[in-house]
Amino acid sequence: MPTPRTSGGAERFELNAGRLDLSPEDMLEMYSTMVLVRALDERIWLMNRQGKAAIVASCQGHEAAQLGAVWAMRQAPSAAYFPYYRDMALAIGLGVTPKETMLGFLAKEGERHSGARQFGLQGIRPDLKLFNNSNVVSTQIPHAVGYALGCKLSREPAAVITCFGDGGASQGDCHEGMNFAAVHKLPVIFFCENNRYAISVPLHKQMAVEHVADRAPGYGMAGVIVDGTDILATYQATQKAVQRALRGEGPTLLEAKVERYLPHTSDDDDTRYRPREEVQEARKHDPLRLFRELLLGKGILTEALDQRFQQQAKAEVNEATEFAEQAPYPEPDDFYEHVYGRV
Amino acid sequence: MPIKSVIEAVREAMYEEMTRDPRVFVLGEDVGKRGGVFLATQGFLEAFGEARVIDTPLAESAIAGIALGAALQGQRPIAEIEFADFVWPAVNQVIGEAARLRYGSRGQAHLPMVVRMPYGGGIRGGLYHSQSVEAFFAHVPGLKVVTPATPYDAKGLLKAAIRDEDPVVFLEHKKTYRLVRGEVPAEEYVLPIGVADVKREGTTLTCITYGLMLHYCLEAAQTVAQEGISVEVIDLRTVRPLDTQAILDSVRKTSRALVVYEDNKMLGVGAEVAAVIAEEAFDSLDAPVTRLAGPEVPAMPFAPTLESVFMLNPEKIAEGMRKVARY
């Protein structure tokens, strides 16, 4: 059967259920992680409204895309991650704990990414090869490409993923990074989480093409579109991209179509630019509900088990909240440290 | 001791470091077969191969950003920006990203990377091949900014920059490349970043400078010496970190200071030097701290008659020295 494609030449990825290599236990782990991420995200948003978390960019609506991608990336012998600011699900899927996350959003002592010098989850986790250093859109894309170049120079079999929104796809750094990666056939997955809004600017004002992935043929790389509300499809599409990267066949521009349920950040008011009916329609494609229904339908998940996951998530989020609320703010003891290394 | 030009010293420094450390590699426009537009990487492709001598697309932000990513992975990249005038698209990657990465991760990662750039004018480069960019980078904590003027300093400091654990902006005055020759030891040496050098001792006044202007200042000092004015010439060599101790020690000795720089005067490196002297050595001064610098026009014009108005020269500097000495 020929691969279905857009008029721009990108592949429309469809899940091949027969080739899905996830066990029921794997799927339940993915699902319970998604339950946890949603509960954590809702709590952080609430804590922003209580004046406790200064700012948050919610990942609600993006969870399946991020978790599907990270599950596939974890299979690479070596993987590095260059996400953007909306990637909490990716971070949790990679092993960042709710406690660590909550410390970050409350800017408390013990925060592991930046020592609470940056917004929640921003900074670097060398132990996870998680590099989320900047708020400036798409600067991370050349970093991921350079990291992949370093892997190639040191003959380290690795896959590197960098995530960005549809907004980030307009940046020069996005173009420059993709072009270089394609020229050098670097093992990079350019993961575009397309929620159709750059803060308030809709997609048709950002680009004249329908799909970000339609640009891929212009760079000489694979372009793939996947339903980012479908965790299994995103997992499998990313897995293919990872395998392509590891085989030395170069980068993939993988576009996950997702929904953004909430405003751009807690400082934004999307009622000024987004009709409520549109948001209600988006919520019909809730990745969490879709995955739940799928697993219930397959008999992998039961109502009782789901209840248990929900309770566990709530307990874990409560514990993280309490822990972070009790933690002190960092003392400015090392305020002047880490500008340069010690000479 | 062998006599070398500045460009030969730069080439030797990189060649030796690439030989010594397999993690060192170069990337930039035309660095491969062409050997760089100024031939800084001549012969590198043959010696080290395509993997470590990377001809990039014409995309400065990618050059800097990819160097950053490679440094995170454990490599030690040397990124070449063909002319400093072309660095502006990469400024976000250098200032916005590289300078802040160590601080923003509370020291959990750092960037051993060098961004090399030919800068400066007086070579009929016009508006877009003559710019001085040091002040923009020197403003930023997290970066080191090195501005050598002699072959000896260029080699020793570039080797130090490549071995440094933090991002270094390495500025080579392009007029010095072939014009300035000097002794370079055959044996291995590395110079410390952040240490100024007294290039000529004197007692009447201190002249603080860097880059091409060092040579003009030395020539001017020679001229006014015949008139009984003894000028101590300090070559900053590094503009961040600034060697304030060397500046203050000299000014406290001579009681007079002239700061000379090619960049336009306002908010330039010399403005910082003057402020440091005014704050820390006010009681020692017998004359106002004086800046002699480029004019307040956006860049250096092309025609020789116009270029010469922009550029300082030994005559203009000698006149500046006389004024400060006479005050």
Would you say residue A97 lies in a domain?
Answer: yes
Same domain, B322 and B292: yes
* Residue located via tokens 């970050």: A104
Say if the Cβ atoms of B59 and A180 lie within 8 Å.
yes
Distance CA B29, CA A211 (A): 32
Would you say residue B189 lies in a domain?
Answer: no
Q: How close B178 comes to chain A (CA, Å)? A: 33
Q: How close B50 comes to chain A (CA, Å)? A: 11
Domain boundary among B159, B183, B207: B183
Q: How close B51 comes to chain A (CA, Å)? A: 7
Spatial CB neighbours of B105, under 8 Å, sequence gap ≥ 6: A113, A114, A123, A124, A133, A338
Would you say residue A185 lies in a domain?
Answer: yes
Question: Which residue is closest to B49 within chain A, CA to CA?
Answer: A153
Do residues B262 and B213 touch, judged by C-beta distance below 8 A?
yes
Would you say residue B112 lies in a domain?
Answer: yes
Domain boundary among B127, B158, B183: B183
Residue-range definition of the domain harbouring residue A40: 27-322
Spatial CB neighbours of A187, under 8 Å, sequence gap ≥ 6: A148, A151, A152, A158, A159, A160, A245, A246, A248, A250, A251
Same domain, B95 and B158: yes
Would you say residue A7 lies in a domain?
Answer: no
Region A226-245: mean pLDDT is 98
Would you say residue A267 lies in a domain?
Answer: yes
Does A341 have pLDDT greater than 70? yes
Which residue of B64, B70, B97 is in closest CB contact with A147? B70
Residue A1: its pLDDT value, please? 73
Backbone angles phi, psi at A157, to 5 degrees: -70, 115
Beta partners for A160?
A80, A188
Whether the ipTM is more than 0.90: the answer is yes
Say if the Cβ atoms of B104 and A177 lie within 8 Å.
no
CB atoms within 10 A of CB A325: 12
* Residue located via tokens 């005014």: B278
Would you say residue B191 lies in a domain?
Answer: no
Domain boundary among B183, B218, B249: B183
Region A245-255: mean pLDDT is 97
Say if the Cβ atoms of B102 and A341 lie within 8 Å.
yes
Residues of A in contact with B96 (CB under 8 A): 134, 136, 139
Would you say residue A8 lies in a domain?
Answer: no
Say if the Cβ atoms of A117 and B71 lie within 8 Å.
no
Is A81 one of the catalytic residues?
Answer: no
Same domain, B231 and B305: yes
Quote the distance between the C-alpha of residue B255 and its chain's center. Answer: 27
The per-residue pLDDT string of chain B (327 residues; one tens digit each, 9 = 90 and over) reads 899 999 999 999 999 999 999 999 999 999 999 999 999 999 999 999 999 999 999 999 999 999 999 999 999 999 999 999 999 999 999 999 999 999 999 999 999 999 999 999 999 999 999 999 999 999 999 999 999 999 999 999 999 999 999 999 999 999 999 999 999 999 999 999 999 999 999 999 999 999 999 999 999 999 999 999 999 999 999 999 999 999 999 999 999 999 999 999 999 999 999 999 999 999 999 999 999 999 999 999 999 999 999 999 999 999 999 999 999
Same domain, B213 and B308: yes
Does A125 have pLDDT greater than 80? yes
Domain count, chain A: 1
pTM value surpassing 0.95 = yes
Give percent of chain A with pLDDT exceeding 70.
Answer: 100
Do residues A38 and A111 touch, judged by C-beta distance below 8 A?
no
Q: How confident is the model at residue A174 (pLDDT cuts 50, 70, 90)?
A: very high
Would you say residue A18 lies in a domain?
Answer: no
Q: Residue A139 belongs to a domain with what CATH number?
A: 3.40.50.970
Does A342 have pLDDT greater than 80? no
**From the candidates A125, A264, A285, A292, which is the catalytic residue?**
A264
Region A251-272: mean pLDDT is 96
Q: Residue B149 belongs to a domain with what CATH number?
A: 3.40.50.970
- SS3 of B292, please? strand
Residues of B in contact with A148 (CB under 8 A): 69
Same domain, B29 and B140: yes
Region A144-164: mean pLDDT is 97
End-to-end CA distance of chain A: 62
Residue-range definition of the domain harbouring residue B210: 197-326
Backbone angles phi, psi at A6, to 5 degrees: -75, 165
Residue A168: its pLDDT value, please? 98
Number of alpha helices (DSSP H) and beta strands (DSSP E) in chain A: 12, 10
Same domain, B107 and B28: yes
Do residues A198 and A227 touch, judged by C-beta distance below 8 A?
no
Q: List strand residue ranges (DSSP E) for B151-264, in order.
A: 168-173, 181-183, 197-200, 205-209, 231-235, 238-240, 257-264
Spatial CB neighbours of A35, under 8 Å, sequence gap ≥ 6: A288, A306, A309, A310, A313
Same domain, B142 and B281: no
Would you say residue A92 lies in a domain?
Answer: yes
Residues of B in contact with A114 (CB under 8 A): 104-106
Same domain, B105 and B254: no
Same domain, B220 and B164: no
Q: How confident is the model at residue A303 (pLDDT cuts 50, 70, 90)?
A: very high
Same domain, B156 and B281: no
Domain count, chain B: 2
Q: How confident is the model at residue A311 (pLDDT cuts 50, 70, 90)?
A: very high
- The DSSP code for A250 is -
- SS3 of A295, please? helix
Distance CA B100, CA A85 (A): 17
Q: How close A233 comes to chain B (CA, Å)? A: 30
Same domain, B215 and B129: no
Would you say residue A329 lies in a domain?
Answer: no
Beta partners for B208?
B234, B259
Residue A343: its pLDDT value, please? 58
Same domain, B171 and B215: no
Would you say residue B250 lies in a domain?
Answer: yes
